Structure 1
Amino acid sequence: MNTLASLYDARVAEGRLIRDDAQEATLSALERIRAELAAAPELPKKRGLFRRAPEVPKVRGLYLWGGVGRGKSMLMDLFVDSLNVPVRRVHFHAFMQEMQADLHRLRGEGVEDPVNPMAKAVSDSVRVLAFDEMQITDIADAMLVGRLFEQLFEAGTVVVTTSNRKPDDLYKDGLNRQLFLPFIALIKDRLEVRELASERDHRQNRLRGARSYFTPVDAAARAEIDALWADLTHGEEEQLVLTVKGRKIALPRYRNGMARVSFYDMCGQMLGPGDYLAIADALRLLVLENVPRLGRSNFNEAKRFATLIDTLYEARVKLIVSARDTPESLYIEGPGAFEFERTASRLNEMQAEDWAEDWTDDGGSDDGGETS
């Protein structure tokens, strides 16, 4: 098995990465985990009724935090690719939504303590959980993570996670935060905490100067968005599935906090404010394509579009749009035309250069210096 350092060197030699001292220093923490997992015996699947449970080999995980564009997700890619044990790479928000859905289901089935079977199902299926963008913004998640992760750690599940925040800033100013503090202590105890403190933002300037609103919707606009999306994702994308009150919302084209969807994906379905809140919470950039002219004939879709834009605006999600007309001319007749003026104003504001700066500072993709 190649070491992570050798994999990193190979990508630099191929021109896929720009060498970064801070990234190279972080490789040792990930290499320790890879090597310990490779040397550890396989976890027992079953044991006899009267047999004592064998000691679970403990491998300390990693909490890797730092600013956006420093290469956290790229290093996670290297790490996951190097493993020869069952691993699941998942956005932390999506994972917690799955856990909340399981909790609701098991309680409905009368299970007295649902956390036990939930943790067992996860630990039985994977040896490593690789999380993108650990953050806690929901009181329900804050109350669940402590017991869930304590049981995962006891079962030998190794957690490696990235975050834009240091552990002490998780769920900062959240409701009943004092009840969440034991989870922060657990993170510090069970995971090595490492800051990726590169001086270089490898993703900086990718959106600076680029258009964020395209009209009309034609081949030229499509080609420009294709090129921008390829530059941001390097041609790698996956599906992100969010669970909201038991319903699944699929974002088929997703990568590191960014998604690319059509107008009808977002507004042609029966989605509501709660769904858009979940989407905004999971994303830092949304590419929304093929917005039609709006009016009486598609009034319901127009209402959803206005709700979506309001939600993205409040969450400071970077937005790239292709539309049939300018914001002011998208909805010029029919019920709701007056109210749509606020939506048009927000669409214009979200095109401003400082909106992209906000995205650079507070969130967004973490491409880690891969060359375009």
Structure 2
Amino acid sequence: MSKSMAEVYAERVASGALMQDDVQLAAIPQFDRIRDELNQPVKRGFFRKAPPPPKGLYLWGGVGRGKSMLMDMFVETLDVPARRVHFHAFMQEIQSGVHAEREKGTEDPIKPVAKAVSDAVKVLAFDEMQITDIADAMIVGRLFEQLFAAGCVVVTTSNRIPDDLYKDGLNRQLFLPFIALLKEQMVVHELVSAKDYRQDRLQGAQSYFSPANEASRAAIESIWQDLSGGKEGTLTLTVKGREVELPRFANGVARVSFFDLCGKPLGPADYLKLAETVRVLILENVPQLGRSNFNEAKRFVTLIDALYEAGTKLIVTAAAEPEFLYLEGTGAFEFERTASRLREMQSETWGNDA
């Protein structure tokens, strides 16, 4: 049997890989409770009913408190089939599966999709549960009902208390039974900590690199490795039926090129969805802006506005300092506000409340 989470945590503190945090320590028994119950041998017999699965865990708290790190450690210690996935990416898979079942004429399209998930894993570990999409909100209750009924254990992190999920969303009253279901099937535990480890790693660190040369690329790579923990995947945002792909994504951090976001026909809705989804955006290779790439420059302004309003942490490599990015052509005067925002977003305290 693998080591308990408490043992793994203690080992990493002893080795210097982690700094002990009493708030994190207080959450570990909740993870080990689930692990221990799942590892109990099942007594089999003709009349024996399978024991009910353990209650899951809803771990919530501010950004950078170590929620994702704890969940990764938990998954590592499990001896049962488990899947760790970003909640947004998971819901996109579910939506695709439901769509495919509808195309086949399946009477209840959610049922086979939920069964495929519960047949494959015993534990679902979600990172960053947040629901902003009405399509997700309308199916998530039925989906989780089926998963829980099949004995799936759900562990999730979130920046919001369950009662604030899908807050002010359209037809939210239809979503409220899902919140009640979460609170019934999961222990809600707040990670109360004044310490923001992600912010600490960026505290005082350079966040705007110019020019975009070899030294800048090396610095960005180092930041990315630190924030991503060496693990990455892709994330596809669905906005009004269109898909926007973030080619590199991990732990709430996205790494994209200027062309990925501003060289394609994207608009305010796409950038707002991006700002809602990611906590840190690494944007590489912002070119000199002007008449020759006016449309790209306009999109860049819209992108920065969305990130600014959301309080998203921004790390940039660019051809020039903010004040010298856009020197000529229509829009140069208006760009002064964007340059000012780019400067403000470089401050040490930027994004602390995001």
* Short-chain TM bin: 0.7 to 0.9
Measure how far apart 1:278 and its partner are.
Answer: 3.2
CA distance in structure 1 between the partners assigned to 2:133 and 2:30 by the alignment: 30
Q: Percent identity?
A: 64
Picking from 223, 226, 229, the partner of 1:228 is 223
Counterpart residue type for residue 174 of structure 2: L
Matched, 1:238 2:229: no
Measure how far apart 1:261 and its partner are.
Answer: 1.9
CA distance in structure 2 between the partners assigned to 1:237 and 1:264 by the alignment: 23
Instruction: Provide the residue aligned with 1:15 in structure 2.
Output: 16
Measure how far apart 1:63 and its partner are.
Answer: 0.7
In structure 2, the CA distance between the partners of 1:175 and 1:249, relative to structure 1 (3 Å rule), is: closer
CA distance in structure 2 between the partners assigned to 1:135 and 1:29 by the alignment: 21
Structural RMSD (CA): 2.9
Structure 2: tracts of 5 or more residues without a match? none
Aligned residues of 1:56 and 1:156 also touching (Cα < 8 A):
no
SS at match of 2:352: helix
Aligned residues of 2:291 and 2:330 also touching (Cα < 8 A):
yes
Aligned residues of 1:143 and 1:180 also touching (Cα < 8 A):
yes
CA distance in structure 2 between the partners assigned to 1:102 and 1:247 by the alignment: 17
Instruction: Judge which range, 20-29 or 183-192, deviates more.
Output: 20-29
Picking from 112, 116, 119, the partner of 1:121 is 116
Q: Describe how 1:264-303 pairs up with structure 2 within 5 A.
A: 264-303=259-298
Picking from 141, 159, 169, the partner of 1:146 is 141
In structure 2, the CA distance between the partners of 1:109 and 1:303, relative to structure 1 (3 Å rule), is: farther
Aligned residues of 1:56 and 1:155 also touching (Cα < 8 A):
no
In structure 2, the CA distance between the partners of 1:239 and 1:37, relative to structure 1 (3 Å rule), is: same
Picking from 304, 307, 311, the partner of 2:302 is 307
Picking from 184, 191, 194, the partner of 1:196 is 191
CA distance in structure 1 between the partners assigned to 2:17 and 2:306 by the alignment: 36
TM-score by length of 1: 0.84
The higher relative CO (CA closer than 8 Å, separation ≥ 6) is in 1
SS at match of 2:202: coil
Aligned pairs, number = 351
SS at match of 2:353: helix
Measure how far apart 1:57 and its partner are.
Answer: 4.4
CA distance in structure 1 between the partners assigned to 2:57 and 2:138 by the alignment: 22
CA distance in structure 2 between the partners assigned to 1:230 and 1:8 by the alignment: 21
CA distance in structure 2 between the partners assigned to 1:198 and 1:276 by the alignment: 30
Counterpart residue type for residue 143 of structure 1: M
Counterpart residue type for residue 38 of structure 2: L
Measure how far apart 1:272 and its partner are.
Answer: 4.2
Per-residue CA shift, 1:144-193, capped at 9, x if unaligned? 21111111100111100011222122222333322222111101110111
CA distance in structure 1 between the partners assigned to 2:331 and 2:197 by the alignment: 43
CA distance in structure 2 between the partners assigned to 1:253 and 1:22 by the alignment: 30
Instruction: Provide the residue aligned with 1:324 in structure 2.
Output: 319
TM-score by length of 2: 0.88
Aligned residues of 1:80 and 1:130 also touching (Cα < 8 A):
yes
In structure 2, the CA distance between the partners of 1:248 and 1:65, relative to structure 1 (3 Å rule), is: same
CA distance in structure 2 between the partners assigned to 1:103 and 1:243 by the alignment: 17
SS at match of 1:236: coil
Instruction: Provide the residue aligned with 1:182 in structure 2.
Output: 177
Aligned residues of 1:238 and 1:252 also touching (Cα < 8 A):
no
